[in-house]
Amino acid sequence: MHGVERVWEALRGARRLLVSTHLNPDGDAISSELALDWILRSSGAEISIVNQSPYPDPYRFLPGIERIHLYNGDSYAPFPVLVALDCGRKNRLGDFVGRIECGTVVNIDHHISNDQFGDVNWIDPKASSTGELLLELADHAGVPIGPELATCLYTGILTDTGNFTFANTSPRCHRHASRLIECGADPAEISRYLYRSRSVGKLRLQARLITELHVDEEASLAWATLTREMCDDAGVSITDALDLVTIPLSVDGVDLGILFREFDEPGKTKVSFRSEGDPDVSILARELGGGGHPSAAGCTLEMETDDAVAAVVPWVYDRLGRRSRKPTLAMLRMRHPKGLEA
């Protein structure tokens, strides 16, 4: 049976479902949860959407967003079905899932690094986004695409393709987008919420990140650090600053951009790699205990942010055989990041 058929078999009869997605959810993650909610709504099933991390503020316009609950330690009755969306590994859902009894695990995703942790897996790395897969699911299920569902699906495809600019932008996703506009998604309004409603603090934080960006033109690498202090000074939550991840790669001549982000809990750093697919950053991230796509991948290190920069930057130079004429502070403090674990 094809992936979509197996998934629909598992979902169609379920009376109670838990839906979740990866930590620090992005546009595709949130939109996919809401899209599935819209798809299953007419079936009368009881659906709980629970996430361990908050979603970025700009997504509050999405229809049905109030249905997403931030896990707060509540106990839940067992769920016969858990649906994991846009999530490459079970532990990326967060540890709250381990505290809830779940039956069949349905895994719907487009990450090539997905480890097929579900009982039912539908992984399509050719899809631009999980949103694209959920559109296929809606069609397979015969669910009409109303404006709310169209808005969610369009947002997932839009954000995961970097506004139709990344290498995963295909004729297929443009066809889907075109159809979703016909079904009631409003591209101008969605883009206004996402890209033209920034706080001044967010813009100032962006300016500071750019000012403090490290660029090694010789080695074609750029990296930046986002600390809690920077976010606090700007009055921006770290969740709302996640899209600044694209800044290092936006420099002309740079083919690998890295963003180091301090976690709310001390002693942990998120590392995000971005490229145009060459170098394949999913390989780098996997070697450091993470995963992702060839052009966007990440990992989480149990290290303070300064230590993570001092370990990972020289490791990347070494791993990619890049040379720099001007060694950076991080390189002078070089030590091999042996034993880096997610």
Chain residues binding ligand AMP by CB under 6 A are 22, 88-89, 92, 111, 245, 272, 290-293, 296-300, 342
Name the binder of 160 from Mn ion, ligand AMP, none, CB < 5-8 A by kind. Answer: Mn ion
Nearer to ligand AMP, 8 or 269 (CB): 269
Cβ-contact 259, 297 below 8 angstroms: no
Closer residue to Mn ion (CB): 292 or 314? 292
Of residues 150 and 288, the one with the C-beta less far from ligand AMP = 288
DSSP string, 85-118: ES-SSGGGG-GGGGGS-EEEEEEEE--TT----S
29 interacts with Mn ion by CB under 5 A: yes
- In Å, how far are 36, 38, 174, 230 from 67, measured between CA atoms? 12, 11, 29, 31
* Segment interacting with Mn ion, rule: CB under 5 A, options 125-133, 243-251, 275-283, 293-301: 125-133
Cβ closer to Mn ion: 124 or 255? 124
Query: Which range binds Mn ion by CB under 5 A, 82-90, 141-149, 170-178, 273-281?
Result: 82-90
Distance CA(169)–CA(158), nearest Å, equals 9
Measured distance CA(15)–CA(81) in Å, rounded: 9
Residue in the block written with tokens 């949860």? 33
Task: With H, G, I as helix, E, B as strand and everything else as coil, classify residue 297.
Answer: strand
CB of 292: closest distance to ligand AMP in angstroms? 2
Q: Which tokens hold the place of 252? A: 């002309």
Q: Which of residues 222-251 bind Mn ion (CB under 5 A)?
A: none
Size of the site for Mn ion (CB under 5 A): 7
- Residue closer to ligand AMP by CB (options 176, 261) is 261
Q: What is the smallest separation between the CB atom of 119 and Mn ion, expressed in angstroms?
A: 21
Decide which of ligand AMP, Mn ion, none touches 3; Cβ closer than 5 to 8 Å per partner kind.
none
Smallest gap from residue 206 Cβ to Mn ion (A): 21
Residue 88 contact among ligand AMP, Mn ion, none, beta carbon within 5 to 8 Å by kind: ligand AMP
Smallest gap from residue 22 Cβ to Mn ion (A): 6
- Least distance to ligand AMP from the beta carbon of 296, Å? 4
CA dihedral 33, 34, 35, 40 (to 10 degrees): 90
Is-contact 247 206, C-beta < 8 A?
yes
Q: How far is the CB of 243 from Mn ion (least distance, A)?
A: 12
Binding-site partner at residue 342 among ligand AMP, Mn ion, none, CB < 5 to 8 Å by type: ligand AMP
Least distance between ligand AMP and beta carbon 63 (Å): 24
| One of 33, 86, 132, 216 touching Mn ion (CB under 5 A) | 86
Cis omega (within 30 of 0) for bond into 279: yes
DSSP notation for 35-104? HHHHHHHTTT-EEEEEESSPPPGGGGGSTTGGGEEE--S-----EEEEEEES-SSGGGG-GGGGGS-EEE
Among 7, 28, 100, 238, binds Mn ion (CB under 5 A): 28
3-state SS assignment for residue 31: helix
Least spacing, CB of residue 67 vs Mn ion, in Å: 19
Interaction partner, residue 29 (ligand AMP, Mn ion, none; CB < 5-8 Å by kind): Mn ion
234-238 CB contacts, 8 Å cutoff, 24+ apart: 234/201, 234/202, 234/204, 234/205, 234/208, 235/199, 235/201, 236/199, 236/201, 236/202, 236/205, 237/54, 237/57, 238/262, 238/263, 238/264
Q: Which is nearer to Mn ion, 52 or 130 (CB)?
A: 130
Binding site for Mn ion (CB under 5 A): 26, 28-29, 86, 129-130, 160
